Structure 1
Amino acid sequence: MWNLIKAILMVTVMILLTYLLAYHWNVVVTFFSSIIDWIVYWMTAASTGPPEVITP
């Protein structure tokens, strides 16, 4: 029973991801790039002390 529920959930997630990537891929890319920027920022801030503001 649990395997069936897990399979349905997996298929639903895959369909949602496919839909998002197909129609809203720019939103997904922006979201992930902001998360990666945030992680890099905190990793560099933790290793180097107070961060210097770098404007692109």
Structure 2
Amino acid sequence: MAAAPRLAPYTMSERPARRLRAALRLQGTAGHDLPLDDAAWACDRVAEWLMPPG
């Protein structure tokens, strides 16, 4: 999740993440177009999510 978006603040994702017991990952400088602003960071987070635990 981008920590510096103009359209919707990242705080809007905090409550759903808590309810789902999901990790909320924040990228510090990207805007709402996170995959374009920092594609490598976004790909790394997806890869972490896809890797089995252990």
Q: What TM-score, normalized by structure 2, do the two folds share?
A: 0.37
Structure showing greater relative contact order (alpha-carbon pairs closer than 8 Å, 6 or more residues apart):
2
Higher normalized helix content (fraction of residues): 1
For the pair shown, the structure with the greater C-alpha radius of gyration is: 1
